[in-house]
Structure 1
Amino acid sequence: MNTKKSILLIIVILLIDQISKIYIKTNFQLQEEIYVFDWFRIHFIENNGAAWGTEIGGKTGKLILTLFRLCAIVGIGYWLRKSIKENAHNLLIISISLIFCGALGNIIDSVFYGVLFTDSYGQLATFNPSEATGAIFHGKVVDMLYFPIWQGTLPEWIPSVGGNYFTFFNAIFNVADSAITIGVMILLFFNKVIFPKN
């Protein structure tokens, strides 16, 4: 895979990610949900940017996470460029490209959304930098894809969690998260193909 194809893949996924986030942010109020199917919903939440909606503490923690991500994406970009130059396996270049564009998609939210959009609490956010409530590097990541495939009470005989109400799959995520996950899964499942032993 050459540089042009890698860049095209990154741009296409990044556009899908950002268009979907901006649409949700400007057409849904926070926590608003619509059912596509029983097992798939669009559910608008925002988080401080840790993986799979994990919350981190305070503005300092958020700033540290954003700066860490910016450093990480430089490293991922270097790895991608090096892999392309060395004519690495196509699966490796695809996986790094997916991880890169996923990380970049969430970085855009974290860095810029706080200064570009108004608040989503109890109202539709608007693109209005003069009334935005956040600060640069302190934006929240928009998540909306929710797949509660099964919900119900677990049998009593299951240790520790038996009798509790349980939802599988409970994470709410976005296109960028999906790209990162697919990229990592390619690395894991095709590890022997991508990194053959001499």
Structure 2
Amino acid sequence: MTHYSSMKRYVKYLLVLFLVIFADQGCKLWVHNHMELGPDYHIKILGNLFKLTYVLNYGMAFGLQFGFKYGKLLITCVRLFASLYIMLYIVRSLAQSTPTVWIWGWVLLLGGAIGNTIDSIFYGVYLNNAPDIAPMQWFHGQVIDMLHLDFWSGVLPHWVPICGGQEIGLLPIFNIADLAIFLGLLLMFCSFHALVPSNKKSQVTDYTV
């Protein structure tokens, strides 16, 4: 592979990576500057099925979080180190004959991880959205979510532990970074079989016949 073709191969992945990050951050900043915060205000895109709803997420993708004082700091550090690891893994994979779909999955995963990491590191300071209980503003920014697929919502029975009596939706409100993470994992799952060498596949077949 020539130096030019190698660089060209890197460029297409970098373009998609930056596209995911810029689309995610642009959408979040637009929502922050043009929408009211809270689940009661919506901008309908496809009626009640798909709408924009501005909410803040103190945890991980799709609202997952650790329930202790420095849990957010831990989440942010995990995101940061995971992003660095994925970056190195992609560079190493590009130097090998790794299936393209597998690499695309990691690129989308990296774009989503960086997008939400930016929120966690900087938004507490520059958007002043760190919660009052946060021990500091740096690394404690809340992630902005807005994509709302409202297939179903209802109230949990009161006998359900912890969250009984609360109104929930079938899907949590998410953002473009979360979507990129989901699509990346989906691509990796669908292409995982391509990582198994053909000789190992034949050996597995021989043993199972």
Q: So what's the TM-score if we normalise by structure 2?
A: 0.76
Deviations 1:135-173 (A, max 9, x none): 11110100000101234699xxxxx9xxx9986632110
Aligned to 1:144: 146
Matched, 1:44 2:44: no
1:85 is matched by which residue type in structure 2? A
In structure 1, the residue corresponding to 2:62 is in which secondary structure? helix
Deviations 1:4-53 (A, max 9, x none): 11111101111110000000011112113222222111111111131211
Task: Provide the C-alpha distance between the structure 2 equivalents of 1:119 and 1:113, rounded to a whole number of angstroms.
Answer: 6
Aligned to 2:87: 77
Q: Which runs of 5+ in 1 are unaligned?
A: 122-133, 155-159
Aligned to 2:137: 135
1:8 is matched by which residue type in structure 2? L
Q: How many residue pairs align between the two structures?
A: 178
8 Å contact from structure 2 (residues 122, 141) kept in 1: yes
Shift of 1:100: 0.4
Q: Which runs of 5+ in 2 are unaligned?
A: 1-7, 200-209
Residue identity (%): 31
8 Å contact from structure 2 (residues 154, 168) kept in 1: yes
Task: Provide the C-alpha distance between the structure 1 equivalents of 2:57 and 2:48, rounded to a whole number of angstroms.
Answer: 24
Shift of 1:102: 0.4
Aligned to 1:126: none
Label 1:41 to 1:72 Cα distance change in 2 as closer, same or farther (>3 A): same
Q: 2:97 aligns with which of 66, 80, 87?
A: 87
In structure 1, the residue corresponding to 2:70 is in which secondary structure? helix
8 Å contact from structure 2 (residues 57, 144) kept in 1: yes
Matched, 1:14 2:10: no
The structure with higher relative contact order (CA 8 Å, sep 6+) is: 1
Matched, 1:107 2:117: yes
Q: CA RMSD in A?
A: 2.6
User: Aligned ranges for residues 52-63 of structure 1 at < 5 Å?
Assistant: 52-63=62-73
In structure 1, the residue corresponding to 2:145 is in which secondary structure? strand
Between Structure 1 and Structure 2, which shows a larger proportion of helix residues? 2
Label 1:75 to 1:28 Cα distance change in 2 as closer, same or farther (>3 A): same
Aligned to 2:12: 5
8 Å contact from structure 1 (residues 47, 140) kept in 2: yes
Aligned to 1:97: 107
Aligned to 2:78: 68
Q: 1:28 aligns with which of 30, 35, 48?
A: 35
Shift of 1:66: 0.6
Aligned to 1:178: 179
Aligned to 1:191: 192
